[in-house]
Amino acid sequence: MGDGNTNQSSSRAGNSNSMSGNNNTSGNGNRPEWLQQYDLNGKIGEGTYGLVFLARIKSNRSKSIAIKKFKQSKDGDGVSPTAIREIMLLREINHENVVRLVNVHINHADMSLYLAFDYAEHDLYEIIRHHRDKVNQSINQYTIKSLLWQLLNGLNYLHSNWIVHRDLKPSNILVMGEGEEHGVVKIADFGLARIYQSPLKALSDNGVVVTIWYRAPELLLGAKHYTSAVDMWAVGCIFAELLTLKPLFQGQEVKGTPNPFQLDQLDKIFKVLGHPTQEKWPTLVNLPHWQADVQQIQGRKYDNAGLYSVVHLSPKNPAYDLLSKMLEYDPRKRITAAQALEHEYFRMEPLPGRNALVPPLPGEKVVNYPNRPVDTTTDFEGTISLQPSQPASSGNAVSGGMPGPHVMTTRSVPRPMPMGMPRLQPQGMAAYNLTSQAGMGGGMNPGAMPMQRGVAAQAHQQQQIRRKDPAGMTGYPPQKNSRRF
């Protein structure tokens, strides 16, 4: 962390001597202002791209930020394209049911990027798991319907902006914890999945799973071009999982294959939905794997076990009707997000509401979902290469309308939100120990995570605005009962 590092790691160290003169301050007393507003709680997630951290704003302890660190791309080819894809999409997006990027920070020392999001305490993976493993009880109908409606609402927004998520699964569907947006769904982690070369990471014991369970049949059969219908298939799988607490199509993944074809996954689908036929799905015969693999795919015989029996719904139930339309084989016939939002299911009691986790009717049981586990032993690992020097390092600092290291200013529309993160199992860590400063000891490197000064103030402002304006709800279906909100 010494001053020497500063020049050594500079790309033009030889000529860039402007920094050395005044760069003689060090130690914790010299943390940049942006960092002093935050407490690092610890690590909350991990993925192929990097780590996710939880931090709190000191001035507003209720305001949490999730910070996703993207390492430089491995192949020595500059800034991670994954990070670029995610940032550039999120910059253009603004919807209550989609994560909002609060800020982007750059660590120039190792060219890594930090994406700061509003923090979401829950996600569908944890919610489902809690019901299945802890309370041993199904999720109530109001909650399922509200979660699904908001998920579709966010997805409809994305699709109408020509954005296909491509990686919807329970762990990427976040739900806000207690606070102003309690129980609001946020679609996260997108622009990430690239179906044709998806990094199928091994199912490992720390629970990081990139699963094929939500993959649409046209992708499994090798369709070259896919549409937003692939997302609707995933929503159907998630809907069924909310109903039964079990993944609907739990195929065994064949690792290391560069193509998306997964026979066992197809097998699981066919067992429930029956064999697709050219009659029902005319373009089926054009799909590469359907043609190439006549013996294995077309040769097998399946009895139509019946989706309704798997999800324990009567075929007459509107919930079943909606689900079966999401799981339509032919992507061109599959229900769209916009159509789904208009489905009868959402027009009958209980009506969906904004706080999906708390049923509006008094007397109904409220499930208390656990907080996300935080690994407080981890700090911004791998980023300790940089000693932040005070900006007043030299007389020739560039001034004027220059963007600083904290590049993003939030766009004007107030809209708090969270972010998606892969699983991090609680094992070996103080599960609910949010003891603020634990990870913030002297070892933590402040420079690694530039944070924008304005965040606390912005967040505050947003909340004020929101309090005045209970809207954001304008898109909800007609409510008979005003108590819903």
Partner 1 sequence: MADFMTSTHRAKWIFTPQDLKEKYKAANQRAKQALEKYGSTRVDVNIDGSFSYAEHPNDAKENGDNHSRQKPLKVEEEQLMRAFYEFKIQDVCDAFKFPRKIQATALIYFKRFYLQWSVMEHQPKHIMLTCIYAACKAEENHVSAEELGKGIEQDHQVILNNEMLVLQSLGFDLIVYAPYRALDGFLNDVEEFCGAKEEQLAMLGSLHESAKVEVDKIMRTDAPLLFPPGQLALAALRRSNEACGIFDFERYLKSVLSRQHPTLSNSDLAVFLNAVDSSVNKLETPTSKDVKHIDRKLKSCLDPGSHDKSKKRKHRSKESSNDILDMS
- Is residue 10 a contact residue for partner 1 (CB under 8 A)? yes
Q: Which of 39, 123, 167, 379 is catalytic?
A: 167
Taking the least distance from each CB to partner 1, the nearer of 306 and 391 is: 391
Of 1, 31, 60, 94, the one binding partner 1 (CB under 8 A) is: 94
Q: Is 408 in the site for partner 1 (CB under 8 A)?
A: yes
Query: How crowded is residue 108: how many other Cβ atoms within 10 Å of its Cβ?
Result: 13
The reply on whether position 400 binds partner 1 by CB under 8 A is: yes
Residue from 29, 74, 75, 133 touching partner 1 (CB under 8 A): that is 75
Give the one residue of 25, 30, 58, 91 binding partner 1; rule: CB under 8 A. Answer: 91
- Between residues 323 and 449, which has the closer beta carbon with respect to partner 1? 449
Residues 105-124 that bind partner 1 (CB under 8 A): 106-109, 111
Under rule CB under 8 A, which residues in 32-51 are in contact with partner 1? Answer: 32
Separation between Cα atoms, residue 98 and residue 158, nearest integer Å: 9
Phi, psi angle pair for 112, to nearest 5°: -95, 160
* Contact flag: residue 61 with partner 1 (CB under 8 A): no
Helix (H) or strand (E) holding 83: helix 81-92
Q: Do the strands 185-187 and 173-175 form a parallel or antiparallel pair, or are they unpaired?
A: antiparallel
Stretch of 91-99, 243-251, 356-364, 376-384 contacting partner 1, by CB under 8 A: 91-99
- Contact (Cβ atoms closer than 8 angstroms) between residue 233 and residue 273: no
Least CB distance to partner 1 at residue 396 (A): 4
Q: In angstroms, give the least distance from the CB of 412 to partner 1.
A: 9
> What is the rounded CA–CA span in Å between residue 35 and residue 32?
6
Q: For residue 180, give every residue at least 6 positions away whose Cβ sits within 8 Å of its Cβ, in sequence order, or none.
A: 416, 463, 466, 467
Q: Of 15 and 368, which has the nearer Cβ to partner 1?
A: 15
- With CB under 8 A as the contact rule, the residue among 1, 31, 60, 84 that binds partner 1 is 84
368 contributes a contact to partner 1 by CB under 8 A: no
- The position carrying tokens 């253009």 is 92
Tokens of 189: 């982690």
38 beta partners: 57
**Would residue 167 show up in a list of annotated catalytic residues for this protein?**
yes
For partner 1, the binding residue among 29, 74, 77, 467 (CB under 8 A) is 77
d(CA 290, CA 287): 5
User: 437-468: string of b/e by CB count within 10 Å (b at 16+)?
Assistant: ebbbeeebbbbbbbbbebbbebbeebbeebee
Residues 152-181 that bind partner 1 (CB under 8 A): 161-163
Tokens of 249: 């199509």
CA distances from 479 to 97, 187, 201, 226, 347 (A): 19, 24, 44, 36, 9
Q: Which is nearer to partner 1, 79 or 434 (CB)?
A: 79
Residue 301 among known ligand-binding residues = no
Q: How far is the CB of 141 from partner 1 (least distance, A)?
A: 35
For partner 1, how many residues bind (rule: CB under 8 A)? 60
**Residue 2 to residue 178: CA distance in whole angstroms:** 42
Alpha carbon 408 to chain centroid, angstroms: 20
Chain position carrying tokens 């020497």: 4
Contacts 24+ apart (CB under 8 A), 86-90: 86/115, 86/189, 86/190, 86/191, 86/192, 87/113, 87/115, 88/191, 89/163, 89/190, 89/191, 90/115, 90/191
Asked whether position 411 contacts partner 1 by CB under 8 A, the answer is yes
Contacting partner 1 (CB under 8 A), which of 87, 116, 284, 356? 87
199 binds partner 1 per the rule CB under 8 A: no
Contact status: 192 vs partner 1 (CB under 8 A): no
Stretch that binds partner 1, among 83-91, 125-133, 362-370, 461-469 (CB under 8 A): 83-91
Is 450 near partner 1 (CB under 8 A)? yes
Considering only 227, 250, 393, 433, the residue that binds partner 1 (CB under 8 A) is 393
Catalytic residue list: 167
Binding residues for ATP, as ranges, are 69
Residues that bind partner 1 (CB under 8 A): 5-6, 9-12, 15-19, 32, 75-79, 81, 84-85, 87-89, 91-94, 104, 106-109, 111, 161-163, 386-389, 391, 393-394, 396-409, 411, 447, 450
